[in-house]
Amino acid sequence: MSDSDFSLIPAIIQDIKTKEVLMLGYMNNEALKKTLEGPNVWFYSRSRKKLWEKGETSGNHLIVKKITTDCDKDTLIIQAEPSGPSCHTGKNSCFHQSELKKLVWQNPNIFSDIFNIIEDRKNNPKEKSYVSSLISKGNDHISQKVIEELCETIVEFNSDNKERMIEETADLIFHIFALMSSKSINLNDIETEFKKRKKH
């Protein structure tokens, strides 16, 4: 967690009608101010380091109805009226997974952030988005891009240019993520496969 993250406050979003918990986001002072002004919920993105309005790309806004805080005043509950699914997967709630039976905590990291952005662009196409354009061209096109990035990575490996190899490796991983997303394969699936191999 960076120093700037300590100025953020977690905000639990609850459906004003059904009382279902829809999602968890984080707000800085400016995001909270915009949310209080209404009509929609705003957050601060820790990965992109910027303000964002829920629904700004998907159109699935959260209309503020009531805001309360806990006794320590370090967590918010925002009761809102959703104008569509709150989760980037298309589900009403981000908490749609099956009941937790064992500890499966995963520390948030840049890989999951990037993969989630790709998933969002797949489910909520955005004009002028590279990811949306990439996925819309089909699996053959994505596969070709992966092959191209792999070749460029190998070229930089053979040239012994570490900086360029890092850049090309990042491009390769990004396009592999897009390929995975197009086939509904997520990072947890890959982690599970690695865990299977670790046992042998």
* 3-state secondary structure labels for all residues of the chain: CCHHHHHCEEEEEEECCCCCEEEEEEECHHHHHHHHHCCECEEEECCCCEEEECCCCCCCCEEEEEEEECCCCCCEEEEEEECCCCCCCCCCCCCCCCCCCCCCCCCCCHHHHHHHHHHHHHHCCCCCCHHHHHHHCCHHHHHHHHHHHHHHHHHHHHHCCHHHHHHHHHHHHHHHHHHHHHCCCCHHHHHHHHHHHHCC
pLDDT at 107 over 60: no
More confident residue, 17 or 47: 17
pLDDT value of residue 20:
92
Return all residues near 96 (Cβ < 8 A) that are at least 6 apart. Answer: 87, 89
More confident residue, 128 or 5: 128
Domains of the chain, first to last:
3-82 (3.10.20.810), 110-198 (1.10.287.1080)
Name the range with the highest mean pLDDT among 31-40, 103-112, 153-162, 185-194. 31-40
Rounded distance between C-alpha atoms, residue 197 and residue 113, angstroms: 25
Q: How high does pLDDT run on average in the chain?
A: 86
Give backbone dihedrals phi and psi of 145, rounded to 5 degrees, phi first: -65, -40
pLDDT at 31 over 50: yes
- Provide mean pLDDT across the span 113-129: 87
Q: What percent of the chain has pLDDT over 70?
A: 90
Asked if residue 171 lies in contact with residue 149, where contact means CB atoms within 8 angstroms, the answer is yes
pLDDT at 152 over 60: yes
Rounded distance between C-alpha atoms, residue 91 and residue 21, angstroms: 12
Indicate the pLDDT class of residue 195, thresholds 50, 70 and 90: confident
- Provide mean pLDDT across the span 75-90: 90
pLDDT value of residue 151:
95
- Provide mean pLDDT across the span 13-23: 93
Indicate the pLDDT class of residue 106, thresholds 50, 70 and 90: low
